[in-house]
Structure 1
């Protein structure tokens, strides 16, 4: 079973404005409302690909109730923990001449609520997959991901971590099955500009030396790279298509990788399924559906390969 954890879920309110003007009233041309958060996105795309998962995390207030309702409507299992203080955040995403975002803070997570999450996670079994994805509220320590993996180390749970900075670095000692930085996050981690794919590859291999099993690097229009734990490195250019939505593409890549790996137990298939799912979401208004993923996957075969 796959479990995803989203510490700070949201309602993503996406509006199209013809030309955004600050300091005055702007009228929307189109509006969309989705449950948001990286772990939730992973669960939704897994469901679209026919893979069952359970979405965990914290919700609060009327917005939290709406998040839970929409996650269930999307066909996912939900086991969220309600908290008393605050409300789940609303993230405003404005599409105009440029994309802009205003993200909410989220609720306060008490020690008691956190303990309830630990109790749920302690029920995970050997070879279950745990996806820890996204930012955390400022009421939690930046060691929270590593704290969780330390508790689960003896259970042999496969950990997937999609996070930035210290949240990511802190988990490497627990040998996560998969991490998914993008190339900008690699630059931040290593404190230098990465000028070409060979430098990105070197950084991915260094993260393996630091403890990661598989390192999947998304490079936007330049494609993707996988340093697999069997020692093989795969690269692929980005598939052709018009990008209409950047929200959830990286989460979709994680979901696609897991779906591909569970189906074939093969890193090459997992890599291409990850790229296909991430690209299909980028080419769509909403998170990728299976027919679009399969179409993109078919176009990818033969254009990448081992390095």
Structure 2
């Protein structure tokens, strides 16, 4: 891999493999900023945003900011689906969505005031025929490609769909990152995902324990490794993150300092940064640092952070 210039910008690696993200239930996030939210009363926003939403899409947006080639897969429907695709095109994000015949891509309402509140819609139904179309796309993945499976599963889809995908790709050398919770995560460990990223609360919930120290976190992260996960990245909010690698390393990094403005997409940005850092030279220390810088930069921003914001925070680590 050689370092190459890209029209005045510095691209850090020549990418030989592709990253694909899958979002089963993407959304348009209607973000409303208020000074104060009064339950049961009339509230007026001072500012609004309409942003692409969905965990896999967030990963794709951050990867694109970091100049990492990727393609967003998943499902869209109706006029809201068309708007979602248009917004992603404006951000230069490659998409290969399947258009559903019925329904509309959901709109989620995010209220940010003295407290944060969210109203998440259900989304359109996905049929078995639609699932088969996605599987056909995934069959075209090559060895060493990276697949990101992120987020919850809509009610119209079998809750073992991540397992189905990983089983289908098991004979290929595809590196699969899974960002999910509870049984959805535990059930894929037997297929040895390349990366999983629980936060420390989610890690405790998996084993029904309260994790109070870094030693506790390492102990239970090792259990996930014993169950099949290759690399476990445990985020700890303002306390940084701990990474257990498939090489037996235990790495920890602090978080850069800043004011948290938006928690939506921060974890997804961390996944994107980790993968981007890993692709640079397969170095897990580099991956951890870029993951934390990317996640923190998005937490300190109104939405998914810019590469400039990430580079600034990277210097603090």
| TM-score with structure 2 setting the length | 0.93
Q: What residue number does 2:72 align with?
A: 55
Shift of 1:184: 1.2
Q: Does 1:212 align with 2:229?
A: yes
- What is the aligned-residue RMSD (CA, Å)? 0.8
Counterpart position of 1:247: 264
- The whole-number CA distance in structure 1 between the counterparts of 2:37 and 2:259 is 22
Does residue 1:159 correspond to 2:176, yes or no?
A: yes
Q: Which runs of 5+ in 2 are unaligned?
A: 1-17
CA contact (8 A) 2:293 2:310 kept: yes
Instruction: Tell me which of 76, 79, 82 is aligned to 2:96.
Output: 79
Residues 137-183 of structure 1 show CA distances to partners (whole Å, capped at 9, x for unaligned) of: 01112110010000000111100000011111111011010000111
Q: Paired residue for 2:297, among 243, 256, 280?
A: 280
1:105, distance to aligned residue in structure 2 (A): 0.4
Q: Deviations over 1:3-51 (max 9, x none)?
A: 0000000001111111111222211001111100010000010000010
Q: Any residues of structure 2 matched to 1:4-15 within 5 Å, and which?
A: 4-15=21-32
SS at match of 1:35: strand
- 1:186 has 2:207 as partner: no
Quote the Cα distance in structure 2 between the aligned partners of 1:206 and 1:74.
Answer: 39
4+ runs deviating over 2 angstroms: none
CA distance in 2, matches of 1:15, 1:197: 36
- Alpha-carbon offset, residue 205 of structure 1: 1.0
Q: CA deviation at 1:221?
A: 1.5
Question: Quick one: distance in 2 between partners of 1:101 and 1:268?
Answer: 35
Conserved 8 A contact 1:142-1:166: no
Q: Secondary structure at the match of 1:202?
A: helix
Quote the offset at 1:85 in angstroms.
Answer: 2.5
